Amino acid sequence: MVTTLRCFDEQTASDSFNISTFILHLVLSTPLHLVLSSPSSFVLPIHSLLLTQWSATATEELSHPEIKSVPANFTMIQYFEWYAEGNGVHWKKFSKESKRLGDMGITAAWLPPPTCASSTESTGYDIYDLYDLGEFDQKGGQRTHWGTKEELVSAIETAKGNGVLTYIDAVLNHKAGADKTETFQATEVDSNDRNKEITDAYDIDGWTGFSFPGRGDKYSKLKWNFNHFTGVDWDDKGKKKSIFKIHGDGKTWAKSVSGENGNYDYLMFADIDHHHPEVIEDLNNWGTWILKESGAAGFRFDAIKHIDREFIGQFVKHVRKEIGNDKLFCVGEFWEDSLGSLENYVDTLGTQFSVFDCPLHYNFKEAGERGAEFDMRQIWDGTIVQSRPIDAVTLVDNHDTQRGQSLESWVNPQFKPLAYALILLRVDGYPCVFYGDLYGCGGDNPQEPVTQLEDFIRARKWYAYGELRDYSDHQNCLGWVRMGDEEHPDGCAVVLSNGGDGFKRMEVGKERAGQKWTDLLGWKQGEVVIGEDGWAEFPCNAVSVSIWVKEDAKFRDTFKKD
């Protein structure tokens, strides 16, 4: 038996008014995390103006070619999954695909680590040489897992021409694949409490000598040794695996890191000492160098909860100053399902910085698992996008949460269309689409792409603009209207249900009276006629989404189904 959810909200949104001057003043004079919300049921997309300014400035001040026809809505893609094809073909695929990505509405791509890892078959998180982008014969060959430096630079340039900026995945927590062992004093620590030493100091042989024989002194003369690290997890002398804290003058774990396991400075491999002056200088130089060398427009920082917060703050400020762009986009992976921890990190970093909305991902996971038992009105609870929308990069899944990986927490595929509607078609946050959801995932647990995800992205590109009018009076069925703006006047109405068939009575404006609207996804058949009062009833199927747009709206012919 099909249950119909009668979900509607008769409250009338306040009258339209001219806010352009006020918005300009707000953008120029308020903290970045402030978002203007009306006391009624609509929200003004202040974050879109800020993000537009942010990304446009990043493009101009890095002397990139002009990005043509960039839509006002910015959308990122994580352009890889853990099992994406390596063999040196990935940069070429990105170059080839960038036109399709730009056409559908992708405006930026977070690329996998482009730097030399301990093996040419590694995804790149076991970092060996930051200054080798696939240029030197090291660790089994010249290319990285993803391709050569020449292919990388060419792909980034091609993507720019297609309206897609790129972000570098900066792996600054550790180094791997050392060229030699060194003897030094260390103590073993309790893996559950890294502040607790469980042995006296003794000599161990650790893999901490990095001489980079393939690169030599090109780009950087620093040869890394044990003084540049705080810990390792292997004593080659005693053939013992443990967490070893390296001894030295003033050397200890970083203080401004996650408090998990007592102190979560140490994660893996040879842990970098971010207080060492030679390390700070070399990494700062690399940050400026790689942007200029590659043509990229920003950073995604890996594993920042394991890196001294003061180092990340000064690194970001240093690179922005050297590049001459104080709005260079930076986002960090602080993977912790705790709003308080994320807010504290952003508040104390000392400069604007975005974080991935880990709590939102886990809300999506819970919603997908619980089905109709989950109250969709609580989907934003405890999230960064609700608390600090200008600092939130929203996501559904990533390479760590996919099946078989270290943080596996895969969102139920049946729920994913709802999740993508929530991050792509509303106002707040900077959405990041996962490669595995657009192309599918490989490995031992292959996953199919999300059905018609490209259409969701296109809907964001063409229709998700203007005031947001929310209709959230039912636990299973949510609806909202985007009223459109001067450049994108069509707008859209979105209805989703995590239970049975549902519908929402929503207002799209008297000026649209008599118009016929259809579901651009083609998942709900029929048409909706807008009443003389500007209201209409918009339906959706059970556990599904419908995106309603005027049947003759601009660019409707770019969608797969109608």
What is the token pair recorded at 473?
Answer: 């009076």
The answer to whether residue 333 is catalytic is: yes
Given 302, 454, 455, 507, which residue is catalytic? 302
User: What is the spatial distance between Cα 113 and Cα 122, in angstroms, rounded to a whole number?
Assistant: 10
Contact 159, 95 (CB under 8 A): yes
How are beta strands 229-235 and 270-272 bridged, if at all? Answer: antiparallel
E strands present in 116-251 = 116-117, 127-129, 165-170, 174-175, 180-190, 193-197, 202-209, 229-235, 240-246
* Torsion of Cα atoms, 223 then 226 then 231 then 232, to 10°: 80
Q: How far apart are CA 213 and CA 211, in angstroms?
A: 6
Q: Is 302 a catalytic residue?
A: yes
Range list of β-strands (E), 210-369: 229-235, 240-246, 270-272, 298-301, 329-332, 354-356
Q: Which of 129, 271, 308, 333 is catalytic?
A: 333
Backbone conformation region of residue 503, classed left if phi is above 0, alpha if psi is from -120 to 50, else beta = beta
How many helices and strands (H and E) does the chain possess?
12, 27
CA distances from 436 to 93, 159, 403, 433, 472 (A): 15, 20, 11, 9, 30
Residue-by-residue DSSP string for 106-137: --EEEPPP-SEESSTTS-S-SEEETT-SS-S-
CB atoms within 10 A of CB 414: 12
The whole-angstrom separation of Cα 355 and Cα 439 is 24
User: Catalytic residues, which ones?
Assistant: 302, 333
